[in-house]
A and B are shown apart, each in its own frame.
Chain A
Amino acid sequence: MAQDLTLIRNFSIIAHIDHGKSTLADRMMELTDTVAKRDMEEQLLDSMDIERERGITIKASAVRMFYHHTDGKTYMFNLIDTPGHVDFNYEVSRALAACEGAVLVVDATQGIEAQTLANVYLAVDNGLEVLPVINKVDLPSAEPERVVHEIEDIIGIPADDAPCISAKTGLNVEEVLAKIVDVVPAPKGSVEAPLKALIFDCLYDNYKGALSYVRVFDGEVRAGTKIRSMATGNTFDVTEVGVFAPTWKTVDSLSAGEVGYIAASIKSVAETKVGDTFTTADNPASEPLPGYKHVNPMVYCGIYPADGAHYNDLKDALDKLQLNDASLVYEHETSVALGYGFRCGFLGLLHMEIITERLEREFDLDLVTTAPSVVYHVYGLDGQKMVIDNPTNLPPAAEIEHMEEPMVKATIMTPSAYVGTIMELCQNNRGVFHDMNYIEEGRVNLHYTLPLNEIIYDFFDSLKSRSRGYASFDYEICGYEKSDLVRLDFLLNGEMCDALSTIVHKDRAYAKGRAVAEKLKDVIPRQQFEIPIQAAIGSKIIARETVKAVRKDVLAKCYGGDISRKKKLLEKQKEGKKRMRQVGSVSVPSDAFMSVLRING
């Protein structure tokens, strides 16, 4: 029997990293007896190790709870979790589209951050009711009144009666639950209408296969229903429908207004795209739900096994990760310096870091990653457009008419004391200033247009260090612009090292070439011969450094007959040598390829 729509509330929690989203979700699950306190694994929603360590949520999921309101009725709460990072902007927007309301959690000691603001706007754009909540009021440095004003001033929603809570201690969390019933509208929809279910997340389960998390807007789905993807036209037989509460639980059906998962004869998550609409194959809806788009990777890099023998292990690991993460793309590539590996595409920098870290941690792989690259549009003299995501594939300058690079619109929120240094940083990174407005006394909002190419290296780290961690940053891609770009190559002992090539703006090439050459000089160990390091644009050498030949490589000491100690030192040296890549006659340590990025802008 379909649930009474007036007794359903679908909502998300919007919060900045560390502002307490997961803790609040935990308390809600306890208060609704969804999970017993003693079974509570801290922060249940974030199930991956890496998420836990970084305090961020990568994959969305949904939890069903039942709340006994003081009005005597029992409400079904579907809490839809949203990824907390700009790389997953599209996923966030789809998760929000599955809700009628959002709980905005703001840290009473910190205030609103750029990321939160972006997500609140996304929620408002999706027509959600926003329920502000002030968290961490138990801390001595809490300033709830200031934060209330900030919410009213910046977001423009009343926050007078926002619950002041401590998710950590549980203070006033009950009040939040009651307010959700009052503030968040009940879903609308008709069980009789043809099925319309919005896919807002996909994941792969070893036993159930590819699972789609859906919000049903109209109609009903149950095991045995034949469903069709409205984006691809593919049809599937539903084998199971269920909810997460907070472990898998099969239900008879999911009907209009409800949230849950669908298991069907779907081979991989790549077949079910976030934002797609499922309908019934025999009585399809006429229109899909709005908002679906195909998401392209924004950042590419080469990923290679540190030991060439582990190529197949890396391939298996990528295959497995892709089962769960349709936004990860990769294809085989060969580098002269690094051998066999993969060109991998990511939604953004964080996504890239998460994937490489998971490869190393969960699959125990030792990796060499090359400098990330954005996707360039290159127009040949013949007017033909090429899409280049690997600097090595850039045609010679003489064959290029012009190039375009992706730009982002960036919002930076910072205490006003750091405005000067942040403007300098943006300027150094070819930023174009748009405007600056005071959010309140002492805090400003800066708007810039920046090339994506400039922010994928260490922009975020520099921003954090220049602002002592206080500035927050959000960006969205805003199209391509014509730009004067060149490929910067590096030669080691006269031989080009393809894995070090990058595409940079012409005005920055000299400085970058010099900085990287200096860095390489430090990371490449001395060898038996002198090694010239050259930075070049085409055939023109723009910087040169030299790694001097090694003078002494010998153990001076006689360890009183302790031969095994000598042998151990030798073994250590041998291991170190194994971790080196051979570029012509030069041995280059694996991390040299990535350390090249750590050049301060």
Chain B
Amino acid sequence: MTALYFHIPYCVQKCRYCDFCSVPVNDSIGRYCDALKTELQLRRNQYPGLSADTVFWGGGTPTVLPADALAGVLAYADRLFPFATDAEISIECNPKTASFDALKTLRTAGFNRLSIGLQSADNALLQRIGRVHSFEDFVHTYEWARRAGFSNINVDVMHGLPGQTQEDYLKTLETVCDLAPEHVSAYALILEEGTPLHADVMRGAETLPDEDAVADMQDAGMAFLHAHGYRRYEISNFAKPGYACRHNLTYWNNEPYLGFGVAAHSSMPEGRNWYRFSVTDRIPAYLKGVARGRVPEADRILINTFEQMFETVMLGLRKTEGVDDTAFQTRFGCSVFETYSEAIEANRRRGLLDESDPKFLRLNARGLDLLNSVLLDFRETNYWELLR
């Protein structure tokens, strides 16, 4: 079993904070879908006999592509990497890019989870960060999605946006909770170099809430979501019982996934080795390469067992559940508690662990807040010492 990811690098317009790989919609769209099919075929030859239990279409904005084109690629993927009967098949969508008919087509084609990018319910703020839609557009999309038969919907919201206050943020969460989606992703804005927003902030044309204000927003937001029946299962992800995103859990459990399209990342075992690799982020190079029968990769790294162990911890600790020691032992033949005894002890002393379940290496709420510094301790581990 594996997870499949499809990257659609097109948007109506790039948001001012966004540093993901995306370009304005252009006439390469048709060829892009064809290339995805070719890439599926190439990867199938490389990994024969693989089936999928989760599929995720992200971007960019996948729904800027015609729904039937998306449906066509999805059906093709299903033929080459047969989907499990209960497969979770998600697609990201931005308001104003999908009509009711399009959503209906997608649902019929097999997509069963929709992730809608709202970010904020405040129209002035949406405009300020370069979103092309209004809150009302979002509500339409949401209602159409329900009518089209999507019974598993995620809404993306953000805090730490320019000029945003805690009140603004809670208001957004309130309107979202009123609609009762199954899942909410609540991210803090990361100011990425090279984005227009970064440039604005650097030259003083735009100001972001300070560190404490952002932390306050996050804490208040988490409390709000918790009170409305959403359980935090990862740093920034909240779901009603049974609706955690299985595809994203694949990443956090450090399990294999295969990515298609430009800038898509993969993590795949090959024989006794484990590789991480990614596809070039240049559309022309991608189209050309795939047409010649070879996926142009931007990089490919061999992940040794020690790195796999660290990555398992790095990703696993993002989950409120933590790292499952039973799974860790099955995969690596040793216990996470023994392997990282020193780092664990250091963080126990700092009071960052939740030790309610001896089978899980788990952080408490404060530990999750300080995950980076926790991981620095784990990074110090001398694995060779363990072998002696």
- Would you call B38 an interface residue if the criterion is a C-beta within 8 Å of the partner chain's C-beta atoms? no
Residue in A548, A553, A562 whose beta carbon sits within 8 Å of that of B370 in the complex? A553
How many A-B residue contacts, CB cutoff 8 Å?
Answer: 85
Does A558 lie within 8 Å of B372, measured CB to CB?
A: no
What is the total number of residues of chain B having a CB less than 8 Å from a CB of chain A? Answer: 39
Interface of A is mostly: loop
| Nearest Cβ on chain A to B345's Cβ, whole angstroms | 16
Contact with B190, one of A528, A553, A555 (Cβ below 8 angstroms): A555
Q: Which residues of A contact B370 (CB under 8 A)?
A: 528, 550, 552-554
Interface readout for A549-593 with B: 1 if CB under 8 Å, 0 if not?
Answer: 011111111101111101101100110010000000000000000
Interface string of B261-272 (1 = CB under 8 A from A): 000111100000
The verdict on B164 contacting chain A, using a C-beta distance below 8 Å, is no
- Residues on A with C-beta less than 8 A from B235 are 554-556
Binary per-residue interface labels of chain B (324-368) against chain A in the complex, 1 for a CB within 8 Å, 0 otherwise: 000000000000000000000000001000000000000000001
Q: Are B379 and A570 in contact (CB under 8 A)?
A: yes
Which of A560, A563, A577 contacts B315, CB < 8 Å?
A563
Contacting pair B190 A558 (CB below 8 A)? no
Output the nearest chain A residue to B219 by Cβ-Cβ distance: A551
Residues of chain A from 265 to 295 with CB closer than 8 A to chain B in the complex: none
User: Chain A residues with Cβ under 8 A from B315's Cβ?
Assistant: 563
B105 at interface, CB cutoff 8 A: no
| Residues in chain B near residue A550, CB distance under 8 A | 370, 373
The chain A residue sitting closest to B379, CB to CB, is A574
Whether B5 lies near A557 (C-beta < 8 A) is no
Q: Are A570 and B376 in contact (CB under 8 A)?
A: yes
- Pairwise interchain contact A560-B20, C-beta atoms closer than 8 A: yes
Contact code string A40-81 (vs B, CB < 8 Å = 1, else 0): 000000000000000000000000000000000000000000
Contact indicator A564/B276 (Cβ below 8 Å): yes
B58 within 8 A of A: yes
Given A552-B188, A556-B187: A563 touches B373 (CB 8 Å cut-off) = no
Q: Indicate if the CB atoms of A558 and B267 lie closer than 8 Å.
A: no
Selecting from B79-87, B147-155, B210-218, the interface stretch reads: B210-218
Contact A577 B376 (CB under 8 A): yes
The B251-300 residues at the A interface (CB cut-off 8 A) are 251, 257, 259, 264-267, 276, 278, 299
Q: How far does the alpha carbon of A558 sit from the alpha carbon of B236 in the complex, in Å?
A: 9
Q: Is B248 an interface residue (CB 8 A)?
A: yes
- Bound CA–CA A567/B215 (angstroms): 23
Question: Is B34's CB within 8 Å of the partner chain A?
Answer: no
Question: Is the beta-carbon distance between A564 and B215 smaller than 8 angstroms?
Answer: no
Q: Which residue of A lies closest to B215 (CB)?
A: A551
Q: Quick one: which of A526, A551, A553, A567 contacts B371, CB cutoff 8 A?
A: A553
- Of B248, B259, B350, B368, the residue contacting A558 (CB under 8 A) is B248
Which residues of B are found within 8 Å of A552, using beta-carbon distances?
188, 211, 214-215, 218, 369-370
Q: Is the CB of B190 within 8 A of A556?
A: yes
Decide: B215 and A560 in contact? CB cutoff 8 A.
no
Report yes or no: A574 in contact with B369, Cβ–Cβ below 8 A: no
Q: Is the CB of B259 within 8 A of A554?
A: no
How many residues of A sit at the interface, in one of the four size bands?
A: 20 to 34
Nearest CB in chain A to that of B252: its residue: A558
B residues near A569, Cβ cutoff 8 Å: 372
Complex CA–CA separation, A558 to B190 (angstroms) = 11
Instruction: Say which residue of B5, B248, B372 sits within 8 Å of A553 (CB atoms).
Output: B372
Q: Tell whether, in the assembled complex, residue B251 and residue A561 are in contact, meaning their CB atoms are under 8 Å apart.
A: yes
Q: A563-B267, A563-B315 are in contact. Are A557 and B212 (CB under 8 A)?
A: no
**Roughly how many angstroms separate A553 CA and B188 CA in the complex, as a whole number?**
12
- Contact A561 B190, CB 8 Å, known A551-B212, A554-B235, A570-B376: no
Q: Is B368 touching A554 in the complex (CB atoms < 8 A)?
A: yes
The interface bits of chain B over 49-76 (1 if a CB of A lies within 8 angstroms of the residue's CB, else 0) are 0000000001000000000000000000
Residues A554 and B314 in contact, CB atoms below 8 Å apart: no
Let me know if B7 is at the binding interface, CB within 8 A: yes
Say yes or no: A553 contacts B314, CB within 8 Å: no
**A570 and B301 contacting across the interface, CB-CB below 8 Å:** no
CA A550 – CA B212 in complex, angstroms? 9
Q: Which residues of B contact A526 (CB under 8 A)?
A: 211
In contact, B369 and A553 (Cβ under 8 angstroms):
yes
- Asked if A573 and B267 sit within 8 Å, CB to CB, the answer is no
Which residues on the B side are within 8 Å of A573 (C-beta)? Answer: 372-373, 376
Once bound together, how far apart are the Cα atoms of A550 and B371, in whole Å?
Answer: 12
Task: Say yes or no: is B375 at the interface (Cβ < 8 Å to chain A).
Answer: yes
Q: How far is the CB of A112 from chain B (nearest CB, A)?
A: 41
Q: Is the CB of B188 within 8 A of A564?
A: no
Instruction: Decide if B311 is an interface residue (CB 8 Å cutoff).
Output: yes
B interface footprint on A331-358 (CB within 8 Å = 1, 0 otherwise): 0000000000000000000000000000
B372, A560: Cβ atoms closer than 8 Å: no
* Distance to closest chain B CB from A561 (angstroms): 4
- Contact flag A563-B58 (CB < 8 Å), given A552-B218, A554-B371, A556-B190: no
Query: Can you identify 16 A-B contacts, CB atoms within 8 angstroms?
Result: A526-B211, A550-B373, A551-B369, A553-B369, A555-B372, A556-B236, A557-B190, A560-B7, A560-B265, A561-B5, A561-B259, A563-B267, A563-B311, A564-B299, A567-B314, A573-B376
- 8 closest Cβ pairs, A-B complex: A551-B215, A556-B188, A554-B371, A561-B265, A553-B372, A553-B370, A556-B187, A562-B265
Interface contacts beyond A560-B264, A570-B314: sample of 4 additional A-B pairs, CB < 8 Å, sorted by A: A551-B215, A555-B372, A561-B5, A570-B376
